[in-house]
Structure 1
Amino acid sequence: MANLSIKDVPEQWAQALRQRAARNHRSLQGELMSLIERAVVEPSAGLGSSMTSTQPGTIASTGQVLGFDRLGHPITRRGTKTIEQIAAEHRLRFPQPITGGPLAVDIIREDRDSR
């Protein structure tokens, strides 16, 4: 693998990259690799590509593209639901509560007593 080095990066840019890496739960090295990979993998604009745009913030057929993962695949958001909406859907799908299974407290006690 090749090693690349960028010199004389303005401190403001370096700080912005560190913050971006922290937001994405990556090291600075990992964030830079992600940016480079995305630049290499993405189809170049202006080359007559018939693919739909997948730039961050655009709307694709599957939802809003928020960014790209380390392999260049789009990260999309299809919509948002409140916890109440999710709970209501869950109650519709599973109207009867699950019964007859072991209680968590019994499992923990059994595990503790087996030592």
Structure 2
Amino acid sequence: MASITIRNLDDDVKTRLRVRAAEHHRSMEEEVRIILRDAVTDGRTGPRDLATFTRECFASLGGVELELPPRGPMRAPPDFS
């Protein structure tokens, strides 16, 4: 696992972080790991494909029923003789 050092952190931020960690019964280090993980995952549990992403973007607009054109007979298979 990687390590990160944060320099020049305001004392007020450190104090609020310590209080938040204590409220969750965690160490400050564990609290920071959870905050960073949640910040970069953006609520997603795994990778999404393009179809899922598009569906989520346009779901609020409602659906559209498209007319399917009538199907004609299949063409004759090619003759390779």
Looking at structure 1, the residues matched to 56 and 3 of structure 2 have their Cα atoms a distance apart, in angstroms, of 34
TM-score, normalised relative to structure 2:
0.52
Looking at structure 1, the residues matched to 22 and 8 of structure 2 have their Cα atoms a distance apart, in angstroms, of 22
Structure 2 portions without partners, runs of 5+: 45-53, 58-81
Identity fraction in percent: 29
Q: Report deviation, 1:36.
A: 0.5
Task: Return the index of the structure with the highest Cα Rg.
Answer: 2
Q: Matches of residues 1-115 of structure 1 in structure 2 within 5 Å? A: 1-43=1-43, 50=56
SS in 2 for 1:34: helix
Change (3 A) 1:6 1:49: farther
Structure 1 portions without partners, runs of 5+: 52-115
Structure 1 runs, 4 residues or longer, greater than 3 Å off: none
1:27-55 deviation line (CA, Å, top 9, x unaligned): 000000000110121159xxx8938xxxx
Looking at structure 2, the residues matched to 5 and 50 of structure 1 have their Cα atoms a distance apart, in angstroms, of 37
Q: Over aligned residues, Cα RMSD in angstroms?
A: 2.6
Q: Which has the higher strand share?
A: 1
Change (3 A) 1:23 1:43: closer
Contact 1:21-1:27 within 8 A present in 2 as well: yes
